[in-house]
Structure 1
Amino acid sequence: MSETVTLGFTGDVMLGRLVNQRQEHRPPHAVWGSMRELLSELDGLFINLECCLSTRGRPWTLTHHPFHFRADPAWAIPALQDVGVTWTALANNHVLDFGEDALEDTFVALESGGIPYGGAGRTEADAWQPSHVRVAGLDIAFVAFTDNTPEFAAAADEPGTAYVEIDPNDEACLERVGDALARARAGDPDLLVVSSHWGPNMREYPPPSFQQFARWLVEHGADIVHGHSAHAFQGVELFDDSLILYDTGDFVDDYAVDSVLRNDRSFLFEVEVTETGVVQKLRMVPTEIAEFAVHEAFPAVATWCREKMVERSSPFDTVVDVEDEALVVRLPQ
């Protein structure tokens, strides 16, 4: 039997505002709470960083933008390094919250900390450039983009995000994303991951257009689709031997909690792949945010998470088993 590699995917990691304030009085690793050991044991860990890393800049006011998130890189980079964050998506609606100076600080902090990123860059070409990282001998390619906040889009000579208006029936969208996928495939990676910050907040199910688009991504080479943005986890789907995580919810933040959708609850999504990059299994560990840190969910909360994930995955006919406190989805071999 071949060796396997375990890759972790999370929803939004927002280290600013009250999280940042709390971290002034505790060690960097405290933000990972009781999940720290599980995170550290992964062979690779991939997140969406829902803030900039800077102490500079002014809040974005050029257009309506009510929330602004930034974290001090002096503690945030050691925290990311502590659990071995391997790559982070920056294609989202908060990376330019404090303007171009803070975005540049984010690039410099991640680069100095040895943490690759994608989905934002100093130019439009940089923002859309696929990333490649090595994890336990695997070459993993990443393509990252967002349909949030068009005013944050990078231009030919201006920094910003890899922005695209997602429409599976729009040729311009398909050409833009398809070109990035083709460039990622040209490197002949063992695994191709698409990280998409898409759609509106507080939705339990992806719209039909996103389902169509996610399947199109798989048909054009994606082995794993890593969705985030809704602040509520959505269902998972197996399609053509690939894995679609429609939305991975929130992992760490200080957000107000919706009493019905419970955006403080989600999962660590552990994907087991072979040493040649074949996706074999998904294991979902229930999590909950408390005291501005992420924790493994207590039994009653874990039960709620499992029940909701089974319910939200049922439209895709996904077979989900329970192992210990986690949910498991096995891909056909």
Structure 2
Amino acid sequence: MSVRIGFTGDVMLGRLVDDSQRRRSDDAVWGTVRERLRGLDGLVINLECVLSPRGREWQRTHRPFHFRADPDWAIPALEAAGVDVCALANNHVLDYEEGALRDTIDALEEAEIAHAGAGETIDEALEPAVRTIDGSGADGHDGLDVAVVSFTDNTPEYAADEESPGTARIEIDESRRDSRSRTRSADDVDDSETRRLVGDALGRARETDPDLLVASLHWGPNMVTEPPESFRAFARWLVEEGVDVVHGHSAHVFQGIEVHEGSPIVYDAGDFVDDYRVDRELRNDRSFLFVLTVTPEGRPTELRLHPTEIDDCAVAEASQDAAAWSRDRMRELSEPFGTEFDRDGDALVLSLER
């Protein structure tokens, strides 16, 4: 029996989303997508805010935006959607200083929602999130063991170290970009510190003997529609190091999908929930719920993209026009990678068994 795991882009529950949720039910933030989320076997998100009632806005460096949500509704909302893992390596986990980050981690742990990518020290930030996704015991399997590591190249001032809390931050050096070749090997990712940190996290994840290994990356600047060659080389290196799924986010708009050695690379999943101003050309309010089908042995066989759009600080099933735009856009962005999709209703379907 296969297992279906959902992946989303940024889930930002602060500011106007937080204000709206104080006047509506906890699960209202998931809008018309709630039942689809609940129908999944597992769900991995990038949590783009802290969950805390306290703290002061980060002032040590200039930060124009600060995102915080009330855990009294946010945790029940995450539970209502069936969130299993939150990636925390991003540029907002210290928006309200260390205390709010600690509150976030405590709230997630109390709710038994796994997390990765941030912690009290860099050692904690490198720890994988580990979760067994129910496989109903089919074919002698009791469930799919999933390990998630989380990294960001954003906001160096939020990086954890041996004594200070923060994110698992890495550098992905774009100076080694080689426009003459679209295929680069693991040897091209040669930044020693990046190799050390990522290798450490992957080693810890492998020690848990997972069936599926996920790398969740909050990388690159906002409103960029294509990954640089350095990101492509890094993503391929991760796959060559044993990662089964690369789950990218940060740009606020979705990017194309590449398949490398049978593993899907979602360069950017876009935005899933937020209150951001909408760019009418790039449409940062439109994206997908990315649903990966995995065999009980941990082999990805299909990636299904269900179109979504943000409306009134909640996520919704995309309208017909929005869904058509997103499908066309995803095909256009994925074509340079040689990626081709089938169509099933409103969804795009990518077979990983070709």
TMscore range, shorter length: over 0.9
Q: Which residue of 2 aligns with 1:166?
A: 172
Q: Which residue of 1 aligns with 2:161?
A: 155
- CA positional deviation for 1:81: 0.2
Q: Which residue of 2 aligns with 1:179?
A: 200
CA RMSD of aligned residues (A): 0.8
Over residues 83-122 of structure 1, what are the superposed CA-to-partner deviations in whole Å (9 max), with x where a residue is unaligned? 1100000100001101011111101111111111000011
> 2:208, 2:26 → 1: CA distance?
35
Q: Which residue of 1 aligns with 2:235?
A: 214
Q: Which residue of 1 aligns with 2:106?
A: 108
Match of 1:240 among 261, 264, 270: 261
> Which amino acid in structure 2 is aligned with residue 311 of structure 1?
E
Instruction: Give the secondary-structure state (helix, strand or coil) at the position aligned to 2:339.
Output: coil
Over residues 5-48 of structure 1, what are the superposed CA-to-partner deviations in whole Å (9 max), with x where a residue is unaligned? 00000000000000000001000000000000000000000000
> 1:69, 1:190 → 2: CA distance?
34
More displaced stretch, 121-130 vs 246-255: 121-130
Match of 1:98 among 73, 96, 101: 96
> 1:113, 1:182 → 2: CA distance?
27
The answer to whether 1:24 aligns with 2:22 is yes
Question: 5 Å matches for 1:266-281?
Answer: 266-281=287-302
> 2:145, 2:85 → 1: CA distance?
13
> Which amino acid in structure 1 is aligned with residue 349 of structure 2?
V
Question: 5 Å matches for 1:81-96?
Answer: 81-96=79-94
TM-score for both structures, normalised by structure 2: 0.92
> 1:91, 1:19 → 2: CA distance?
21
- CA positional deviation for 1:130: 1.6
Over residues 149-206 of structure 1, what are the superposed CA-to-partner deviations in whole Å (9 max), with x where a residue is unaligned? 0101112121111011123332221222122112211222100000000001101110
Q: Which residue of 1 aligns with 2:151?
A: 145
> 1:107, 1:172 → 2: CA distance?
26
Q: Runs ≥4 in structure 1, deviation > 4 angstroms?
A: none
TM-score for both structures, normalised by structure 1: 0.98
Question: 5 Å matches for 1:32-111?
Answer: 32-111=30-109
> Which amino acid in structure 2 is aligned with residue 139 of structure 1?
D
> 2:334, 2:154 → 1: CA distance?
24
> 2:193, 2:164 → 1: CA distance?
21
> Which amino acid in structure 1 is aligned with residue 16 of structure 2?
L
> 1:176, 1:57 → 2: CA distance?
29
Report if aligned partners of 2:44, 2:86 keep a CA contact under 8 Å in 1.
yes
Report if aligned partners of 2:126, 2:197 keep a CA contact under 8 Å in 1.
no
> 2:114, 2:170 → 1: CA distance?
22
Q: Which residue of 1 aligns with 2:133?
A: 135
The answer to whether 1:223 aligns with 2:244 is yes
> 2:168, 2:253 → 1: CA distance?
23
> 2:294, 2:92 → 1: CA distance?
31
The answer to whether 1:285 aligns with 2:306 is yes
> 1:100, 1:172 → 2: CA distance?
25
> 2:88, 2:204 → 1: CA distance?
19
> 1:33, 1:113 → 2: CA distance?
22
Report if aligned partners of 2:302, 2:353 keep a CA contact under 8 Å in 1.
no
> 2:319, 2:340 → 1: CA distance?
24
